[in-house]
Amino acid sequence: MRSLWKERNNRCFENIYSSISQLQELVITRLCWWIKGWDDPFPYGPNEVLRYPQCLDWAPVQIQPNLAQPSMGLACWAPPDQFKYKWNVDASLKLSESKSAIGGVLRDSQGKFLCIFSSPIPFMEINHAEVLAIHRAVKLSSTIDYLSQSKIEIESDSQNAVHWCNNKNEGPWNLNFTINFIRNAMCRGMGIEIFYRSRESNIVADHLAKQGLSRVDEFVAWL
Protein backbone atom coordinates (compact mmCIF):
# COMPACT_ATOMS: atom_id res chain seq x y z
CA MET A 1 0.00 0.00 0.00
CA ARG A 2 2.87 2.37 0.76
CA SER A 3 4.33 1.74 -2.71
CA LEU A 4 0.97 2.54 -4.35
CA TRP A 5 0.56 5.66 -2.21
CA LYS A 6 4.05 6.92 -3.15
CA GLU A 7 3.40 6.20 -6.82
CA ARG A 8 0.15 8.18 -6.66
CA ASN A 9 1.95 11.15 -5.08
CA ASN A 10 4.72 11.02 -7.68
CA ARG A 11 2.18 11.07 -10.49
CA CYS A 12 0.03 13.80 -8.99
CA PHE A 13 2.71 16.19 -7.73
CA GLU A 14 5.95 15.33 -9.53
CA ASN A 15 4.64 14.14 -12.91
CA ILE A 16 6.83 11.02 -12.50
CA TYR A 17 5.43 7.70 -13.65
CA SER A 18 6.59 4.14 -13.01
CA SER A 19 5.63 1.26 -15.28
CA ILE A 20 3.57 -1.64 -13.95
CA SER A 21 6.65 -3.89 -13.94
CA GLN A 22 8.72 -1.28 -12.07
CA LEU A 23 5.96 -0.87 -9.52
CA GLN A 24 5.74 -4.62 -9.07
CA GLU A 25 9.50 -4.81 -8.44
CA LEU A 26 9.26 -2.03 -5.86
CA VAL A 27 6.45 -3.80 -4.02
CA ILE A 28 8.30 -7.13 -3.91
CA THR A 29 11.63 -5.54 -2.94
CA ARG A 30 10.05 -3.61 -0.06
CA LEU A 31 8.17 -6.73 1.01
CA CYS A 32 11.45 -8.67 1.17
CA TRP A 33 13.03 -5.93 3.28
CA TRP A 34 10.07 -6.12 5.64
CA ILE A 35 10.30 -9.94 5.88
CA LYS A 36 13.95 -9.60 6.95
CA GLY A 37 12.64 -8.16 10.21
CA TRP A 38 10.78 -11.34 11.11
CA ASP A 39 12.21 -13.71 13.68
CA ASP A 40 11.68 -16.65 11.33
CA PRO A 41 14.35 -17.12 8.63
CA PHE A 42 13.27 -16.58 5.03
CA PRO A 43 15.61 -18.36 2.57
CA TYR A 44 15.02 -16.15 -0.49
CA GLY A 45 16.35 -12.73 -1.40
CA PRO A 46 14.63 -10.02 -3.49
CA ASN A 47 16.17 -11.30 -6.73
CA GLU A 48 14.74 -14.80 -6.25
CA VAL A 49 11.30 -13.48 -5.34
CA LEU A 50 11.31 -11.09 -8.30
CA ARG A 51 12.01 -14.01 -10.63
CA TYR A 52 9.56 -16.36 -8.94
CA PRO A 53 7.03 -14.66 -6.62
CA GLN A 54 5.74 -18.13 -5.74
CA CYS A 55 8.71 -18.29 -3.34
CA LEU A 56 6.47 -16.34 -0.97
CA ASP A 57 4.38 -19.51 -0.53
CA TRP A 58 7.20 -20.62 1.80
CA ALA A 59 6.33 -18.09 4.46
CA PRO A 60 2.82 -19.18 5.55
CA VAL A 61 4.12 -22.69 6.23
CA GLN A 62 7.09 -21.54 8.27
CA ILE A 63 5.54 -18.84 10.46
CA GLN A 64 3.25 -21.24 12.31
CA PRO A 65 5.74 -23.03 14.62
CA ASN A 66 3.16 -23.51 17.38
CA LEU A 67 0.90 -25.80 15.37
CA ALA A 68 0.99 -29.21 17.01
CA GLN A 69 0.37 -31.04 13.75
CA PRO A 70 0.74 -29.30 10.41
CA SER A 71 -1.97 -29.77 7.84
CA MET A 72 -1.62 -33.02 5.89
CA GLY A 73 -0.45 -32.47 2.34
CA LEU A 74 1.22 -29.16 3.20
CA ALA A 75 4.84 -29.62 2.16
CA CYS A 76 7.74 -27.23 2.19
CA TRP A 77 11.05 -27.17 0.39
CA ALA A 78 13.83 -28.19 2.78
CA PRO A 79 17.44 -27.05 2.27
CA PRO A 80 20.21 -29.64 1.92
CA ASP A 81 22.81 -30.16 4.62
CA GLN A 82 25.77 -27.80 4.79
CA PHE A 83 28.27 -28.28 1.94
CA LYS A 84 25.61 -30.05 -0.13
CA TYR A 85 23.56 -28.77 -3.07
CA LYS A 86 20.04 -29.62 -4.13
CA TRP A 87 18.34 -29.70 -7.51
CA ASN A 88 14.57 -29.66 -7.77
CA VAL A 89 13.42 -30.71 -11.22
CA ASP A 90 10.07 -31.13 -12.90
CA ALA A 91 8.41 -31.73 -16.26
CA SER A 92 5.23 -30.35 -17.77
CA LEU A 93 2.88 -31.49 -20.53
CA LYS A 94 0.36 -29.64 -22.69
CA LEU A 95 -1.68 -32.29 -24.42
CA SER A 96 -3.80 -29.86 -26.43
CA GLU A 97 -0.68 -28.56 -28.20
CA SER A 98 1.43 -31.74 -28.03
CA LYS A 99 4.16 -29.94 -26.07
CA SER A 100 6.53 -31.07 -23.32
CA ALA A 101 9.05 -29.11 -21.25
CA ILE A 102 11.38 -29.47 -18.30
CA GLY A 103 12.66 -27.11 -15.62
CA GLY A 104 14.90 -27.11 -12.58
CA VAL A 105 16.50 -25.00 -9.88
CA LEU A 106 19.76 -25.59 -7.96
CA ARG A 107 20.08 -24.23 -4.40
CA ASP A 108 22.64 -24.39 -1.64
CA SER A 109 22.18 -25.03 2.10
CA GLN A 110 21.13 -21.39 2.60
CA GLY A 111 18.39 -21.66 -0.03
CA LYS A 112 20.29 -19.40 -2.44
CA PHE A 113 19.50 -19.93 -6.12
CA LEU A 114 22.63 -20.99 -8.00
CA CYS A 115 21.23 -22.11 -11.34
CA ILE A 116 17.88 -22.37 -13.12
CA PHE A 117 16.89 -23.98 -16.40
CA SER A 118 13.71 -24.06 -18.46
CA SER A 119 13.54 -25.91 -21.75
CA PRO A 120 11.11 -27.27 -24.33
CA ILE A 121 11.69 -30.91 -25.26
CA PRO A 122 10.13 -33.27 -27.84
CA PHE A 123 6.58 -34.27 -26.95
CA MET A 124 6.60 -37.41 -24.82
CA GLU A 125 4.97 -39.26 -21.92
CA ILE A 126 5.26 -37.33 -18.65
CA ASN A 127 7.43 -39.86 -16.77
CA HIS A 128 9.86 -39.96 -19.68
CA ALA A 129 10.06 -36.16 -19.54
CA GLU A 130 10.75 -36.32 -15.80
CA VAL A 131 13.78 -38.53 -16.52
CA LEU A 132 15.06 -35.94 -18.99
CA ALA A 133 14.73 -33.25 -16.30
CA ILE A 134 16.91 -35.32 -13.95
CA HIS A 135 19.36 -35.95 -16.80
CA ARG A 136 19.63 -32.20 -17.50
CA ALA A 137 20.41 -31.44 -13.85
CA VAL A 138 23.16 -34.10 -13.86
CA LYS A 139 24.69 -32.73 -17.07
CA LEU A 140 24.68 -29.14 -15.81
CA SER A 141 26.32 -30.25 -12.55
CA SER A 142 29.11 -31.98 -14.43
CA THR A 143 30.09 -28.74 -16.18
CA ILE A 144 31.04 -26.89 -12.97
CA ASP A 145 34.16 -27.99 -11.08
CA TYR A 146 32.93 -27.30 -7.54
CA LEU A 147 29.68 -29.16 -8.22
CA SER A 148 31.35 -32.19 -9.81
CA GLN A 149 33.31 -32.59 -6.56
CA SER A 150 30.36 -32.03 -4.21
CA LYS A 151 27.44 -34.00 -2.81
CA ILE A 152 24.29 -33.29 -4.83
CA GLU A 153 20.68 -34.20 -4.13
CA ILE A 154 18.13 -34.26 -6.94
CA GLU A 155 14.43 -34.17 -6.05
CA SER A 156 11.65 -35.07 -8.48
CA ASP A 157 7.91 -35.47 -7.99
CA SER A 158 7.81 -38.49 -10.33
CA GLN A 159 7.99 -41.76 -8.41
CA ASN A 160 8.51 -43.69 -11.65
CA ALA A 161 11.43 -41.55 -12.82
CA VAL A 162 13.14 -41.77 -9.42
CA HIS A 163 12.61 -45.55 -9.28
CA TRP A 164 14.02 -46.06 -12.79
CA CYS A 165 17.13 -44.00 -12.05
CA ASN A 166 17.85 -45.67 -8.71
CA ASN A 167 17.32 -49.30 -9.75
CA LYS A 168 19.41 -51.25 -12.21
CA ASN A 169 17.60 -52.80 -15.21
CA GLU A 170 14.52 -50.65 -14.64
CA GLY A 171 12.91 -48.14 -17.00
CA PRO A 172 11.70 -48.03 -20.62
CA TRP A 173 14.07 -49.42 -23.23
CA ASN A 174 14.02 -46.22 -25.27
CA LEU A 175 15.41 -44.30 -22.27
CA ASN A 176 18.28 -46.72 -21.61
CA PHE A 177 20.98 -44.31 -22.81
CA THR A 178 19.64 -41.43 -20.70
CA ILE A 179 19.05 -43.51 -17.57
CA ASN A 180 22.44 -45.21 -17.85
CA PHE A 181 24.10 -41.79 -18.09
CA ILE A 182 22.40 -40.82 -14.81
CA ARG A 183 23.35 -44.09 -13.10
CA ASN A 184 26.96 -43.83 -14.24
CA ALA A 185 27.17 -40.30 -12.82
CA MET A 186 25.84 -41.60 -9.51
CA CYS A 187 28.48 -44.36 -9.45
CA ARG A 188 31.56 -42.50 -10.60
CA GLY A 189 32.03 -40.34 -7.53
CA MET A 190 29.86 -37.30 -8.29
CA GLY A 191 28.00 -37.89 -5.04
CA ILE A 192 24.55 -37.72 -6.62
CA GLU A 193 21.43 -38.99 -4.85
CA ILE A 194 17.94 -38.90 -6.34
CA PHE A 195 14.81 -38.68 -4.20
CA TYR A 196 11.07 -38.49 -4.65
CA ARG A 197 9.32 -35.46 -3.14
CA SER A 198 5.73 -34.29 -3.52
CA ARG A 199 4.79 -31.53 -5.94
CA GLU A 200 4.07 -29.12 -3.07
CA SER A 201 7.79 -28.95 -2.22
CA ASN A 202 8.71 -28.49 -5.87
CA ILE A 203 6.93 -25.24 -6.69
CA VAL A 204 9.77 -23.34 -8.38
CA ALA A 205 10.75 -26.26 -10.64
CA ASP A 206 7.09 -26.75 -11.54
CA HIS A 207 6.78 -23.15 -12.71
CA LEU A 208 10.06 -23.34 -14.65
CA ALA A 209 8.81 -26.44 -16.45
CA LYS A 210 5.52 -24.72 -17.32
CA GLN A 211 7.46 -21.71 -18.65
CA GLY A 212 9.40 -24.07 -20.90
CA LEU A 213 6.18 -24.92 -22.75
CA SER A 214 6.17 -21.43 -24.28
CA ARG A 215 9.91 -21.30 -25.04
CA VAL A 216 11.57 -21.97 -28.37
CA ASP A 217 15.07 -22.61 -27.00
CA GLU A 218 16.50 -23.73 -23.68
CA PHE A 219 17.09 -21.09 -21.01
CA VAL A 220 19.91 -21.69 -18.49
CA ALA A 221 21.12 -19.11 -15.99
CA TRP A 222 23.88 -19.43 -13.39
CA LEU A 223 23.04 -16.89 -10.70
Nearest CA to 206 among 157, 162, 170? 157
Contact in structure between 63 and 35 (CB atoms under 8 Å)? no
The answer to whether residue 110 scores a pLDDT higher than 60 is yes
Predicted confidence band of residue 60 (pLDDT cuts 50, 70, 90)? very low
Which pLDDT value is given to residue 155?
96
Greatest mean pLDDT among 29-38, 50-59, 118-127: 118-127
Residue 30 included in any domain: yes
Task: Report the CATH number at residue 121.
Answer: 3.30.420.10
Residue 61 included in any domain: no
Residue 47 included in any domain: no
DSSP 36-101: TTSSS-----HHHHHH-GGGGGHHHHHT-TT-SSPPTT-----PPPTTEEEEEEEEEEEGGGTEEE
Residue 59 included in any domain: no
Tens-digit pLDDT profile for residues 167-215: 988 899 999 999 999 999 888 766 899 999 887 778 889 888 998 999 8
Residues 99 and 30 in one domain: no
Which pLDDT value is given to residue 52?
67
Which pLDDT value is given to residue 41?
61
Q: How far apart are CA 222 and CA 220, in angstroms?
A: 7
Which pLDDT value is given to residue 143?
87
The answer to whether residue 30 scores a pLDDT higher than 90 is no
Mean pLDDT over residues 120-128, rounded?
Answer: 95
Which pLDDT value is given to residue 212?
92
Number of domains in the chain: 2
Distance of CA 63 to the CA centre of its chain: 21
Q: Which domain holds residue 123?
A: 84-222
Residue 71 included in any domain: no
